């Protein structure tokens, strides 16, 4: 049985959504962020030494890092769904999006979050952070122009993995300037599997805005 170690308001929400899209049986172990520090509780360290979410266990295997989890679940349990044919050129594009989400696109958004906490002390860094956010969101927006999905003409794990970028951009008030990105996030959120994952996962602050 697949077990998702799910932290509230976190990247593990997209793992629940993926499992709902695939219609796979799974269980959830719930963890709550510290209300003050927003850090995960120490119990997560017992699952994986980083103490981060998402982490899944599948029998004897433990898989961490959300891009790797999306890839693993689709490869091992997807039966060919939610990914392009591995022999196709589209598969290479799909892999790029899986890596790009956390490897590049999230970085300036996370910097915005952390540097923002410094107040005036962080102000000198803000223009560079803003230009990088615009660089990445502009790229994703243009990639979605005239398209429903990032790869091909149907949902893939790339959309699920990249959805957190669009959602966090919205939470920081940065998405409205990117109409194709905004439309894509709205369409993903309307999917029945996305809604079911919200019901199972509990409150998720990035499902709005």
Ligand X SMILES: N[C@@H](CCC(=O)N[C@@H](CS)C(=O)NCC(=O)O)C(=O)O
**Which parts of this chain interact with ligand X (CB under 6 A)?**
7, 10-11, 39-40, 51-54, 65-66, 102
Of 38 and 195, nearer to ligand X (C-beta) is: 38
Biggest CA-to-CA distance, the chain: 51
As a whole number of angstroms, the distance between CA 39 and CA 34 comes to 5
- Dihedral sign, Cα of residue 57, residue 63, residue 69, residue 72: negative
Of 86 and 114, nearer to ligand X (C-beta) is: 114
Nearest to 106 by CA among 31, 53, 69, 161: 161
Minimal distance, residue 65 CB to ligand X, in Å: 5
As a whole number of angstroms, the distance between CA 98 and CA 128 comes to 25
Please answer whether residues 16 and 201 qualify as being in contact, where contact means their C-beta atoms are separated by less than 8 angstroms: yes
Residue 2 forms beta bridges with which residues? Answer: 26, 58
Minimal distance, residue 17 CB to ligand X, in Å: 14
Please answer whether residues 48 and 103 qualify as being in contact, where contact means their C-beta atoms are separated by less than 8 angstroms: no
Minimal distance, residue 138 CB to ligand X, in Å: 22
Minimal distance, residue 147 CB to ligand X, in Å: 24
Minimal distance, residue 87 CB to ligand X, in Å: 27
As a whole number of angstroms, the distance between CA 38 and CA 77 comes to 32
């Amino acid at each position: 049985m697949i077990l998702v170690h799910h932290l509230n308001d976190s990247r593990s929400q997209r793992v629940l959504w993926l499992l709902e899209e695939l219609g796979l049986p799974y269980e959830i172990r719930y963890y709550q962020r510290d209300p003050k520090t927003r850090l995960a509780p120490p119990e997560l360290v017992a699952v994986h030494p980083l103490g981060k979410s998402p982490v899944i266990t599948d029998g004897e295997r433990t898989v961490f890092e959300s891009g790797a989890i999306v890839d693993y679940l689709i490869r091992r349990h997807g039966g060919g769904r939610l990914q392009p044919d591995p022999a196709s050129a589209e598969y290479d594009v799909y892999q790029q999006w899986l890596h790009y989400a956390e490897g590049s696109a999230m970085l300036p958004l996370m910097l915005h979050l952390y540097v923002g906490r410094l107040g005036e002390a962080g102000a000198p860094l803000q223009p560079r952070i803003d230009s990088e956010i615009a660089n990445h969101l502009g790229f994703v927006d243009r990639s979605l122009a005239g398209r429903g999905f990032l790869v091909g003409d149907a949902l893939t794990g790339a959309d699920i993995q990249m959805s957190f970028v669009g959602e966090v951009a919205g939470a920081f008030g940065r998405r409205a300037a990117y109409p194709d990105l905004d439309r894509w996030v709205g369409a993903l959120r309307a999917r029945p599997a996305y809604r079911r994952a919200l019901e199972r996962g509990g409150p998720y602050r990035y499902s709005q805005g």
